[in-house]
Chain A
C-alpha cells in the first residue's frame, strides 16, 4: 500500500470549559461547579490515500466537524498525531509548514457565514495566493478569473460582494477560495447541506469534476447517506466521537455490520419506500459532555449485552474482515 497522503493516529480533541476566578472560588467553597469537558473526538485513526474520497458520516454531536477541523489545521488535536505525506505536521517549520497548511483546505457548510461580508469576491479569492507569493500582484487578476471559471462563476462578477450572490454561487466562491492556493486535499464539511436540493447536485458534480481535473483527495463530511454513497470510495461512520465502522462504500451500504450503521441506513427515508412504517431506534443521542460508559451506543442498541456497558470496543477487523467497533463483531470466528 502506498503511503497515504493524510494519516491521523490516535487523535482526540477535547474542549474544556475552564472555570474562571469566580468559578474556582465557588468550587473551593463547596459549590457543585466543575470543569466541563466535551470529548468531541476520541482516539480516532484514519488514513486517506491520494485521490480517494473518504466519506465521514454521523449525526450531531458525533464529532465529524471537529475531526474535519483538526485535519484542516483549524483546531490543534489534544492527543495524537497527524501526518501529511508521511511527515508529522507538528514538527514542520517554515516553508514545509506553509506547504502543508495550504495543501489541506476546507469548504464550509454555511455559504453565508463562511465569506467575509466586507470583502469583494476578487479579494476573498485572491488574498491568500497573493500573500503567499503563489502569484504576483500583477498576475493576480487573471489568476482569479481562471479560478472563478473553473468553479463555474462568471469572472466579470468579481468586484461584487458576497451578499449579492445566491447560496449556490457563494458556495462556489468558497470552493474557488480554497482552490486558489492549489491544495491537494479538501475537507468538505457538510458543504452541500445548506443548499437547495436542485443546487446540491450541481455542487456535487463540481466536486467530482474537480477531483478528476486536479487529482484532489477529499474528506467528505456529511449526514446525508445518499450523497456519501454516491461520491465516496470508503466510508467511516462516527458516533459520539468514535469511529464505529469503516469500509468501502459498497460494503457499508449493502452489508452494514455495526448496529448503529444498520439503524442509520434503515431509518433514512428513501424515495422508493411508500407509506412505510418508520421503526426507529429508541432513545436520544447522548450528550458529548456525558458519554455512556463502555460502548457509547449501548443504551440505544437492540443487541447490547452486559459487556457492552463495560468494555470500550476498538475499531478493528472482525467478522468477514470488516472493521467495526462492536464487541459482537469481534467474536472470533472459527
Chain B
C-alpha cells in the first residue's frame, strides 16, 4: 500500500473532534428558538412539580390543612392560616397554586409513566411483528388497526369502566389506549431498516439475528419513536385530564388537574373563573410546550429535511 493512498484518505471532513450523532442532534435542536423556549418552560413546570411540597404553603391533599372557610376566595386573598392565596382557592378551600402544583405531579407522573410503559410494550410488539412476518404480523397489525380506529378517549373510558378508579388503573388504561401508536411506528421503521444494506452486511458477517435487531436496527428506530413519544405523552396527560374531568379518573381526594378543572366548572357562571381557568392554563401550557418540542424534534430527526 503506497503512502500516497494512505495520505489520500487521511484528511477526513473538517470536524476536528469526534461528533457523535447526539451532539449533532443537540446543536440542530437548539437552532429553533421556539422549541428551546418550549423545552425550557416544560422543564420549569417539571421542576415546580417535583419541588411542590417545599414551595407551596399548603398540602391540598392533607385534609387537616384545608378548611372550607377558605373556599372560593378570589386571587390575592389571605387564607385562614395567614398565607396569601395568589391564585385564589377552590370550592373546598384548597389554595389553587398548591393544588395546581400537586395536581401537576399526578398528571405528569401518570402521563409519563403511561407513555414509557406504552412505548416499551408497543416497541416490543412492533419489533415482533416486523420480524415474525407472516400470520403473526398480520394478526398483530390488524389488532393495532382495530385499536387505532377507536378514539383514544373512548378506549380509555372503556378501560376505566372495566378496571375502576385509582392511579395504577388509570395508567393501565392509558397504556392500553396508546401502545398501538408505538407498535405501528416501530414496525414500519424496523421494516425499512431491515431492508437496508448495513443489515445485509451484518447478516453476511454472521452476526446473530438478535444482535442485529437490538444493536443495529433498534437504535435506528429510536428517532421516530422519540417523536411519537413526546406527542403521545402530551396526549396522555390531556387524556387523563379528560377522564378526571368526566369524573371517572382520579379520586377527589387526590385531585389531578382534570379534577380541579371539573370542580371549578360549576363556578364559571357565577364569576369565580379562577377555579377552572388557572388549572386549565397550567394544563394548556404543559401540553403545548411538549407538543412544540415534539414537533421540532420531528423536523430535526427527519433525514429528508436535512439540507
Contacts and interface: CB of A to CB of B under 8 A. Distances in A.
A contacting B, Cβ–Cβ less than 8 Å: yes
Interface string A85-123: 000000000000010011011101110011111110000
A202 B21 contact: no
A105 B205 contact: yes
Given A149-B1, A149-B6, A118 B21 contact: yes
Contacts of B202: 116
A206 B5 contact: yes
A257 interface: no
B169 interface: no
B220 A117 contact: yes
B9 A153 contact: yes
A108 B6 CA distance: 22
B201 A177 contact: yes
B149 interface: no
B195 to A, nearest CB: 9
B10 A154 contact: yes
A103 to B, nearest CB: 10
Contacts of B201: 106, 108, 114, 174, 177
A313 to B, nearest CB: 33
B197 A165 contact: no
B27 to A, nearest CB: 14
B204 A169 contact: no
A116 B206 CA distance: 16
A163 B303 CA distance: 12
A326 interface: no
A165 B200 contact: no
Contacts of A151: 9
B21 A161 contact: yes
Interface size class for chain A? 35 or more
A20 interface: yes
B197 A113 contact: yes
Interface string A113-138: 11111110000000110011000000
Given A152-B1, A209-B1, A160 B18 contact: yes
B253 interface: no
Interface in A204-227: 205-206, 209
B200 A152 contact: no
B6 A154 contact: yes
Nearest to B3: A152
Given A113-B198, A161-B19, A105 B204 contact: yes
Secondary structure call for the B interface: helix
B207 interface: yes
A160 B21 CA distance: 10
B198 A166 contact: no
A202 B205 contact: no
A114 B197 contact: yes
Contacts of A119: 216
A25 interface: no
A47 B13 CA distance: 42
Nearest to B6: A152
A197 B207 CA distance: 33
A6 interface: no
Q: Chain A CB within 10 Å — which of B10, B20, B205 has the most?
A: B205
B270 interface: no
A152 B13 contact: no
A243 to B, nearest CB: 23
B15 interface: yes
A74 B1 contact: no
A15 to B, nearest CB: 13
A330 interface: no
Q: Chain A CB within 10 Å — which of B1, B9, B219 has the most?
A: B9
Contacts of A131: 206-208, 211
Nearest to A106: B204
Q: Chain A CB within 10 Å — which of B5, B200, B201, B203 has the most?
A: B201
Given A114-B197, A161-B20, A101 B206 contact: yes
Contacts of B1: 149-150, 152, 209
A164 B19 contact: yes
A41 interface: no
B138 interface: yes
Interface in B1-34: 1, 5-6, 8-10, 12-13, 15, 18-21
A188 interface: no
Contacts of B18: 159-161
A169 B8 CA distance: 9
Q: Chain A CB within 10 Å — which of B19, B20, B206 has the most?
A: B206
Interface in A140-167: 149-154, 157, 159-161, 163-166
Contacts of B8: 152, 202
A131 B215 CA distance: 13
Contacts of A50: none
Q: Closest 3 CB pairs between A and B? A: A128-B205, A114-B197, A152-B5
Interface of B: 1, 5-6, 8-10, 12-13, 15, 18-21, 138, 196-198, 200-208, 211, 216, 219-220
Interface of A: 20-21, 69, 72-74, 98, 101-102, 104-106, 108-110, 113-119, 127-128, 131-132, 149-154, 157, 159-161, 163-166, 168-169, 172, 174, 177-178, 181, 202, 205-206, 209
26 contacts: A73-B204, A74-B203, A101-B204, A101-B206, A105-B205, A106-B200, A113-B197, A116-B216, A117-B220, A118-B220, A119-B216, A127-B207, A128-B207, A131-B207, A131-B208, A149-B1, A149-B6, A152-B8, A152-B9, A153-B9, A161-B19, A163-B21, A168-B9, A177-B201, A181-B206, A202-B8
Given A106-B200, A114-B196, A127-B205, 14 more contacts: A74-B203, A104-B204, A114-B200, A131-B207, A152-B9, A154-B9, A154-B12, A164-B19, A168-B9, A172-B9, A174-B201, A177-B205, A202-B5, A206-B5
